[in-house]
Amino acid sequence: MKPKLSSAKISLLVVLTLLLASVLVACGDPTATPAPAATTAAATTAAAVATTAVAGATTAAGATTGGADSALGPIPKGAAQLNGPIIIALNTEITGAGAQTGELARKAAEIAVDKINASGGINGQKIELKVEDAQSSNTGALSALNKGVAEDKAVIMVGPVKSTQILAISDRIKELQIPALIGGTNQSLTKQGNTWLMRFRPDDSIAANAMTNFLLGDLKLSKVAILHDSDAFGTGGADIIEAALKKEGKAVANRQKYTTGTQDFTAQLLAIKNSGADALTLYGTNAQDDAIILRQIKEQGIKIAIIGSPSYAQTIVSDLASDVTEGVYVVTDYFPGRTPEYEEYAAAWKAKFNSTPDALSAWNWDAIHLASRVIAQVGTDKAKIRDTILQVKGFKGAGGAFSFSAEGNGRSSVDILQYKNKAQSFIKTVAVQ
Amino acid sequence: MEEIIQLLVAGLAYGSIYALVALGFVLIYNAVGVVNFAQGEFVMVPSYIAFVFLNLVGLPFILAYLATIVVAGVFGLIFQRVAYYPLRNRSFLPVVISTIGASILLQNIALVVFDAQPRKPNAIFTPGEIFEVGTIRIVPQYVLILVVTLLLVVFQYFLFEKTSLGKRLQATAQDKQTAQLMGIRVNRMIAYTFIYSAILGAIAGILVSPLLLVSKGMGGSLALKAFSASIVGGFGSVPGAIVGGLFLGIAEKFASRYISSAYEQGFAFIILIVVLLFWPQGLFGEKISEKA
């Protein structure tokens, strides 16, 4: 007979419990992070006044460099005396569930650094990019932050892009006093009094409100269903859609959830199909899930208006689900390919990686370009870098125009696109005041 | 009614995949008394191999699938040699840890070789294509999964019950010492078991990758569900693995539709806990000592 059956069974249960625990931890509520006390350490001395002037100069430099083949151009030489290379940490997911997005972010950051270094760096100094792996987890993002500051001695950090991770490391960012150029879109991130967070993407309220307004106003539909990822991002987006519908006096026709990495959506889609909804909003985190959802929507014969969250515009969806995207609307940070700044980004991407540039990752490129301009002006003093970025108005990047609010939000508009004949076509820009 | 049938078909299709992976678990467990935590990679690795044969080499479907199965068999053998054989005289845990290590290693190799972007393998059926029976919409890939799984179960029954090889495999699973005394080459039988388990994984991967896309993490949640399925069915029981897989697949879909979609991924484990509490031996537990 089988030897050690009983101990084997016990070990089995132990391992199983551990696995279950890890599954449950992954589902934990990230918003449980305690809100930090609001302590703004904004410089109010004469230095700040000087910084303001520099910010003006930076803005002007950003706005005036035009030209067809070199939209952003080299970093304008500034007053700052720089000693040694400028170290930028990229806090992104190289391993784990988010590795797809992380890899695209790394590529976008790499081409930005290559570009700047090839055209003379920042006041003659090269940028060194240190990619730190957030391991697709909150603790991973924290250790990536610590490593970036303590070992790499980075002056700024780009990332993370996941709101959950940013919430988890927000307090530590404040302690370390490092300008964090983030891509997380959860509205609350910039509302907790952490002045070191600067957001390079439009927040969820902008995207979710635009989705609702587009369905009700432009398409004149009224019975809106929601299918969303049950993580903080998806739930947050769905809540905003529900609130926006309520404001218009409409109830949600049907609201369904799924966990990231779900393989089959038959149950959710049948519920939506049989609810009589005339429009479906999709709020997803993971583009691979999005691709599967779009295929199953077609399989279920759901023929209502569909509008997806920004991840539905990612190349993963347009490449992998090209057979089933026809007619689907997507709210995205910006519609790529309409500006020389974007062309420059796309050309750099194609030259280095020979693949379709990922529009949603362009904010990494923009963050590095904008930060480099600021560093050229004010040097590597982190507080000065932060204060200057917060005063930038009208910087034209590959991913649209950036004008920072005092809270640290750089973008205030989204674009709506539609898949037509397997390609994305521009519908309209929705700006929020 | 049509909704129930559609849920049933989807549930059976995913249940079949769980069942195939669960079979892989159970056969290896019976042969060597160890849970192979790289079972998910037995699905993931062949899925990538199939992708290479289909999309990069451009072989026709039948040829690509056969080639995949052959390569998967070789992969199973190498896995056995590297991750199990050197530790075969050690206790349960070192081998389990070794398979967990192998799982992490294989996922990261996939990440290095294919980067993190999921791949879409060429598929027999175009995505989004369905056929309608009355008002019921059936996904052809689901039907394919059901048919292939059924054929495989029949094949396996004949292999284990009607052939000398099957008898030797069963004997090895039941009692290695006695089997050895009877002149059965036990180590070779164990190697065959790993090969067959990898082939089951390959078939599951070929069937499911047009639906899930090929990515390094694709095997993880499948393996976890399949593991639950094999415990629900009674760990070590072959019919238990099949019934457990199907049961879990169907239960998941109905619970998601009629209870709450938020916890669809959790139902498998709720069922697992309930079964462990009330039927610790699983549904087919008593048959452990009889079956291979």
Q: How far apart are CA A389 and CA A404, in angstroms?
A: 7
Q: Is B3 within 8 Å of A324 when comparing Cβ atoms?
A: no
The pLDDT assigned to A7 comes to: 54
- Of B270, B277, B290, B240, residue with least CA distance to B26: B240
Q: How far apart are CA B108 and CA B210, in angstroms?
A: 22
The pLDDT assigned to A133 comes to: 95
What number of other Cβ atoms are within 10 A of residue A164's Cβ? Answer: 22
Q: Which residues of B touch A328 (CB under 8 A)?
A: none
Q: For the segment B196-213, what is each residue's pLDDT rounded down to a tens digit?
A: 999 999 999 999 999 988
Best of A103, A264, A315, A324 to substitute, by most chain B Cβ atoms within 10 angstroms, is: A264
**CA atoms A12, A15, A17, A19: torsion sign:** negative
Q: Which residues of B touch A323 (CB under 8 A)?
A: 126-128
Distance from CA of B139 to the nearest CA of A (A): 7
The pLDDT assigned to A104 comes to: 93
Q: Let me know: does A262 contact B264? Beta carbons within 8 Å.
A: yes
The pLDDT assigned to B109 comes to: 94
Confidence of residue B286 (pLDDT cuts 50, 70, 90): low
**Continuous segment of H or E residues that includes residue A395:** strand A395-397
What number of other Cβ atoms are within 10 A of residue B170's Cβ? Answer: 19
Question: Which of A259, A268, A323 is nearest residue B128 as measured by Cβ atoms?
Answer: A323
For chain A, list residues with pLDDT below 50.
1-5, 21, 23-70
The pLDDT assigned to A24 comes to: 41
Strand partners, A424: A419
Whether residue A160 has a cis bond before it, omega within 30° of 0? yes
Residues whose CB falls within 8 Å of the CB of residue A73, separated by 6 or more in sequence, listed in order: A65, A67, A119
CB of A29 within 8 Å of any CB in chain B?
no
For every residue of A278-327, DSSP letters joined together read SEEEEE-S-HHHHHHHHHHHHHTT--SEEEE-GGGGSHHHHHHTGGG-TT
Distance from CA of A72 to the nearest CA of B (A): 29
Best of A23, A263, A294 to substitute, by most chain B Cβ atoms within 10 angstroms, is: A263
Q: Is A299 within 8 Å of B128 when comparing Cβ atoms?
A: yes
CB of A114 within 8 Å of any CB in chain B?
no
Best of A93, A227, A262, A270 to substitute, by most chain B Cβ atoms within 10 angstroms, is: A270
Strand partners, A283: A228
Q: How far apart are CA B164 and CA B48, in angstroms?
A: 34
Q: Which residues of A touch B108 (CB under 8 A)?
A: 95
Q: Let me know: does B228 contact B282? Beta carbons within 8 Å.
A: no
Q: For the segment B121-163, what is each residue's pLDDT rounded down to a tens digit?
A: 998 888 778 888 888 888 999 999 999 999 999 999 999 889 9
Distance from CA of B45 to the nearest CA of A (A): 17
Q: Is B10 within 8 Å of A266 when comparing Cβ atoms?
A: yes
CB of A17 within 8 Å of any CB in chain B?
no
Whether residue A336 has a cis bond before it, omega within 30° of 0? no
At B22, the amino acid letter reads A
Beta-strand relationship, B136-138 and B131-133: antiparallel
Q: Let me know: does B15 contact B233? Beta carbons within 8 Å.
A: no
Helices B164-174 + B186-212 axis angle, to 10: 100
At A196, the amino acid letter reads W
Beta-strand relationship, A224-229 and A197-199: unpaired
Distance from CA of A230 to the nearest CA of B (A): 7
Q: How far apart are CA B138 and CA B130, in angstroms?
A: 6
The pLDDT assigned to A15 comes to: 57
Q: How far apart are CA A60 and CA A68, in angstroms?
A: 18
Distance from CA of B167 to the nearest CA of A (A): 16
For every residue of A186-214, DSSP letters joined together read -GGGGGSS-TTEEE-S--HHHHHHHHHHI
Best of B107, B256, B260, B291 to substitute, by most chain A Cβ atoms within 10 angstroms, is: B256
When pLDDT is averaged across residues B43-68 and rounded to a whole number, the result is 95
Q: Is B211 within 8 Å of A299 when comparing Cβ atoms?
A: no
Q: Which residues of B touch A20 (CB under 8 A)?
A: 269
Q: Which residues of B touch A235 (CB under 8 A)?
A: none
Question: Which of A11, A102, A261 is nearest residue B96 as measured by Cβ atoms?
Answer: A11
The pLDDT assigned to A18 comes to: 55
Q: Is A103 within 8 Å of B116 when comparing Cβ atoms?
A: yes
Alpha-carbon distance values, A38 to A6, A46, A192, B95 (Å): 56, 23, 6, 52
SS3 A136: coil
Interchain CB contacts (distance < 8 Å): A and B: 131
Give, as one character, the DSSP assignment of residue A429: E
Q: Is A99 within 8 Å of B139 when comparing Cβ atoms?
A: no
Q: Is B118 within 8 Å of A100 when comparing Cβ atoms?
A: yes
Joined tokens for residue A239: 């809540």
Q: Is A100 within 8 Å of B92 when comparing Cβ atoms?
A: no
The pLDDT assigned to A168 comes to: 94
The pLDDT assigned to A16 comes to: 57
Question: Which of B92, B111, B126 is nearest residue A4 as measured by Cβ atoms?
Answer: B92
Q: How far apart are CA A248 and CA A368, in angstroms?
A: 40
User: Residue holding tokens 């080459």?
Assistant: B185
Give, as one character, the DSSP assignment of residue A73: -
Alpha-carbon distance values, B182 to A32, B165, B169, B178 (Å): 62, 14, 13, 6
- Of A129, A125, A98, residue with least CA distance to A113: A129
Q: For the segment A135-173, what is each residue's pLDDT rounded down to a tens digit?
A: 999 999 999 999 999 999 999 999 999 988 999 999 999
The pLDDT assigned to A54 comes to: 39
Q: How far apart are CA A423 and CA A407, in angstroms?
A: 36
SS3 content of chain B, % helix, strand, coil (to 5): 80, 5, 20
- Give φ, ψ of B226 to 5 degrees: -65, -35
Joined tokens for residue A19: 């696995």
Joined tokens for residue B244: 């457990």
Q: For the segment B28-48, what is each residue's pLDDT rounded down to a tens digit?
A: 998 888 889 999 999 999 999
Alpha-carbon distance values, A116 to A351, A373, A425 (Å): 15, 10, 31
- Give φ, ψ of A66 to 5 degrees: -120, -135
Distance from CA of B153 to the nearest CA of A (A): 24
Distance from CA of A25 to the nearest CA of B (A): 12
* Prediction pTM value: 0.77
Best of A16, A269, A311 to substitute, by most chain B Cβ atoms within 10 angstroms, is: A16
CB of A302 within 8 Å of any CB in chain B?
no
Distance from CA of B121 to the nearest CA of A (A): 10
Q: How many residues does chain B have?
A: 292
Q: Which residues of B touch A257 (CB under 8 A)?
A: 260-262
Distance from CA of A267 to the nearest CA of B (A): 5
- Of B125, B151, B97, B138, residue with least CA distance to B211: B125
On the question of pLDDT at B265 being above 90, the answer is: no
- Gyration radius of chain B's alpha carbons: 19
